[in-house]
Structure 1
Amino acid sequence: MLAVVGITKWKAASDRGGQQPAEPFRIAGNLYYVGANDATSFLLTGPAGHVLIDGGYPGTAPMIMASITKLGFNIRDVKVLLNSEPHFDHAGGLAALQTASGAELWASEASADAIASGGLDDAGATFWPMKLLVWSGLARYPAARVDHRFKDGATIRLGPIKLTAHITPGHTRGCTTWAFPVRAGNRELQVVSAGSLTLLPGMSLVEPERYPGIRADFERSFRVLRSLPADIFLTAHARQFDRYRKFRESTTAADPVAPFIDRAGYLSYIAKGEEKFRKELRTQQEAQ
């Protein structure tokens, strides 16, 4: 009972902390921020329709739709929905956004069943407190219809918009990093919306692994992310790419795109994720 009460309080605090309304804004070219204060969502606009990456919590969907409207766009013009990971703080609003837009949802093969079950099928890949959250309903979310399943390296196109999916597993098996170009004036900038590098608490990196292959998955993800050209980097949590500071600086900069160009920040994000991973690995190895 105490565990359930604690988990309930944690989820409520997480919801409140991650989905306060945030001012939407242009990042560069046809790329816009339409997420909450921490649970991110990104809009790519185009003449053939728009692409939306991530749906936040179940309660974030109305904020995302309001932000899209505030920027002068129509939710009905969103034709493609994408996701970075199937946890409730990034996939929770997908069903509502899909209903409002009529968009088709693309999900990685390893994330699709979790999204289609409202988080239920992700329980086997996570640690026991998350299983309790999911099976108790506290971390469940409205199931969304998955229209397309893709493999690593897949390309999603909508008119001139082209995104490449890089599966960067570890945080979850189907965690997806999205890479795509945007044009800002006469510049073409490479954008990477990076998957999470966080090791969930309680996950084992040594035998027996609760998530078989997790150590190798993280190792591969660090290599893949470092190999990607990134002028602008984004993350599923706004604090990780310093959204507010960059937005604030962009409002007064002679070049409003300049604060978002941050290759050094991208490499630092990867380095910090790997450092935490290596520290936890050493701790677990020493405890064996």
Structure 2
Amino acid sequence: MKLRLALLAALAAPLTFAMAGGALAHNPLDPPEVDAHVDAATRLARKDLAQSLFFCEADPRAKVLASLKRIGEWIEPTRIFDNLSYVGNQFVGVYALETDGGVILFDSGTSVDEAENHIAPGLRKLGIDPKDIRYIVVTHGHWDHFGGALWFQQQYGTPVGLSENDWQMIERQEGTPVLNGRPIPKRDRVITDGQVLKVGSTSVSLYITPGHTPGTVSAIFPIRQGGRQHIVSLLGSTALPDTVEPTAITGGLERYRDSIDRFAKLSRAAKADILLNTHLFAFGGVERLDKARATRNPAVRGNSFVIGPQRIGAFYGLMDHCMQAAEGRIRAKATSAAPHAH
């Protein structure tokens, strides 16, 4: 197994801070090596990334399901930076990147109804006309990310892109309960690894980062704020798969770790200083949005999202430790379930 994230983890040193209220509690059923990874992730988290420690919990899906219950709680549409906005709810949303050639939308809402009655009106409230969307990047093939794409296709003819593997995944599942009744968009654009999506003078670099799904897409791109440029590292993944090896619907933990390792290095090379995920709960995004709305000074609006390359490295290092903890739990469970030798 290759050395992962050593440099980025080192950039986060010294790691002497713990969560407010103490470190993430150990699960008494975890072996010591799992506890060591949980402790390492806690040190990386400090206070600003403490919400991301749910990745290290024995049942990280519990956080996802708790957030899912808040899907009807809509957040005030927020212009985070001069040309980047968020429209969504407490569970998931979209980012709109405005360029001199039109708008790029990351994800599409959870349903046709949501796209028409929440996402599009929210964009208009920010002065963004949905007909100006030139491309929708769907980060992965789950209904809460592609659910509104068909509406944009039908209403405006908006091009929609997913990776080939995730197009195949949702096409195989069409008509099954797993899609939660969401119609899939018509197959349109296929996003490839390393593709540069250029709209106007803005270039967005897209990378295939399997793990959460077989063909999750993550992105690195520039934004503007008060005359300054910043670089966004947008991870398209969230919850950890429950197997080490790939399945029909995930890339597996091992590939997820490889993806995080590679994307962390790409983000560092690009000097990314902003971390994003369309699930706000993954990185404390709700609190950052609150701070962005609270300030009236355009020169500082969005500073809560600018965390710097070191803290982005810490986030990806945290995720790597949490995935190693998850792998350790899987191996420990398999060992305990194996027949005893005689």
Whether the TM-score (by the shorter chain) exceeds 0.5 is yes
Tell me which structure has the larger Cα radius of gyration: 2
**Equivalence for 2:176:** 135
- Report whether the alignment pairs 1:230 with 2:265: no
Report percent identity of matched pairs: 25
- Counting only pairs closer than 5 Å after superposition, residues 116-127 of structure 1 correspond to structure 2 as 117=171, 120=173
**Equivalence for 2:235:** 194
Equivalent residue pairs, number: 260
Q: Is the 8 A contact 2:209 2:259 kept in 1?
A: yes
- Report whether the alignment pairs 1:65 with 2:120: yes
**Equivalence for 1:258:** 303
Gap change, CA 1:280 and 1:241, over 3 Å in 2: closer
**Equivalence for 1:81:** 136
3-state DSSP of counterpart to 1:34 = strand
Deviations 1:39-70 (A, max 9, x none): 12000112322111101311431211111110
Aligned equivalents of 1:256 and 1:181: distance in 2? 16
Q: Which deviates further from its counterpart, 226-235 or 261-270?
A: 261-270
* Structure of higher RCO (CA pairs closer than 8 Å, 6+ residues apart): 2
Aligned equivalents of 1:167 and 1:114: distance in 2? 15
Q: Which deviates further from its counterpart, 243-252 or 145-154?
A: 243-252
Q: Structure 2 counterpart of 1:214, which letter? A: G
3-state DSSP of counterpart to 1:41 = strand
Deviations 1:163-201 (A, max 9, x none): 11111111101111111011223311001111214223x
Gap change, CA 1:148 and 1:215, over 3 Å in 2: same
Q: Structure 2 counterpart of 1:161, which letter? A: T
Aligned equivalents of 1:279 and 1:12: distance in 2? 21
Gap change, CA 1:37 and 1:97, over 3 Å in 2: farther
Aligned equivalents of 1:66 and 1:46: distance in 2? 20
3-state DSSP of counterpart to 1:174 = coil
Q: Is the 8 A contact 1:197 1:270 kept in 2?
A: no
Aligned equivalents of 1:13 and 1:285: distance in 2? 27
**TM-score w.r.t. length of structure 1:** 0.81
**TM-score w.r.t. length of structure 2:** 0.69
- Counting only pairs closer than 5 Å after superposition, residues 91-102 of structure 1 correspond to structure 2 as 91-102=146-157
**Equivalence for 2:327:** 281
3-state DSSP of counterpart to 1:80 = strand
Return 5+ residue gaps in structure 1 as ranges: 1-10, 122-133
Aligned equivalents of 1:224 and 1:236: distance in 2? 20
- Counting only pairs closer than 5 Å after superposition, residues 25-174 of structure 1 correspond to structure 2 as 25-58=78-111, 59-61=113-115, 62-115=117-170, 117=171, 120=173, 135-136=176-177, 139-174=180-215
Gap change, CA 1:215 and 1:257, over 3 Å in 2: closer
Aligned equivalents of 1:219 and 1:135: distance in 2? 29
Q: Is the 8 A contact 1:43 1:52 kept in 2?
A: yes
Q: Structure 2 counterpart of 1:110, which letter? A: N
Alpha-carbon offset, residue 16 of structure 1:
4.4
Return 5+ residue gaps in structure 2 as ranges: 1-63, 336-342
3-state DSSP of counterpart to 2:176 = helix
